Amino acid sequence: AQKVTQAQTEISVVEKEDVTLDCVYETRDTTYYLFWYKQPPSGELVFLIRRNSFDEQNEISGRYSWNFQKSTSSFNFTITASQVVDSAVYFCALSGSRGTSGSRLTFGEGTQLTVNP
């Protein structure tokens, strides 16, 4: 069975602060994929990043960065110099590589990020 845990239910920061969203996952698959999605109040899930289990390189995209550590089964997401527009619910998700686990995303419960001006 696959499981994603986002222990932080809500985070509130002041604009320009850095913020890290935690994600811990469980899977028996040796090959798997990890995702982060953003869900603004409009409801649409916006894709942010996908990483496969063989690529542990950290990634930076603008103000966003991701830290993938297989040893701790974690895939954390950091927003640098947060902005009010970053306010949303952020979901971490996991997909396997084949069969049942490869045909679906397993989501965490999400972290509500509020960035105050």
Partner 1 sequence: DTGVSQDPRHKITKRGQNVTFRCDPISEHNRLYWYRQTLGQGPEFLTYFQNEAQLEKSRLLSDRFSAERPKGSFSTLEIQRTEQGDSAMYLCASSLATGAGDGYTFGSGTRLTVV
Please give the DSSP secondary-structure letter assigned to residue 72.
G
Site string for partner 1, 19-48 (x = CB under 8 A): ------------xxx---x----xxxxxx-
**Tokens 């089964």 label which residue?**
73
Report, in Å, the least distance between residue 27 CB and partner 1. 12
User: Can you tell me the distance from the alpha carbon of 88 to that of 86, in angstroms, rounded to the nearest whole number?
Assistant: 6
For partner 1, which is the closer residue by CB, 29 or 67? 29
Report, in Å, the least distance between residue 16 CB and partner 1. 28
105 binds partner 1 (CB under 8 A): yes
List, in sequence order, the alpha helices (H) in 1-117: 99-102
Sign of CA dihedral 26, 68, 46, 44: positive
Task: Give the interface with partner 1 as residue ranges (CB under 8 A).
Answer: 4, 31-33, 37, 42-47, 50, 52, 91, 93, 95-98, 100, 102-110
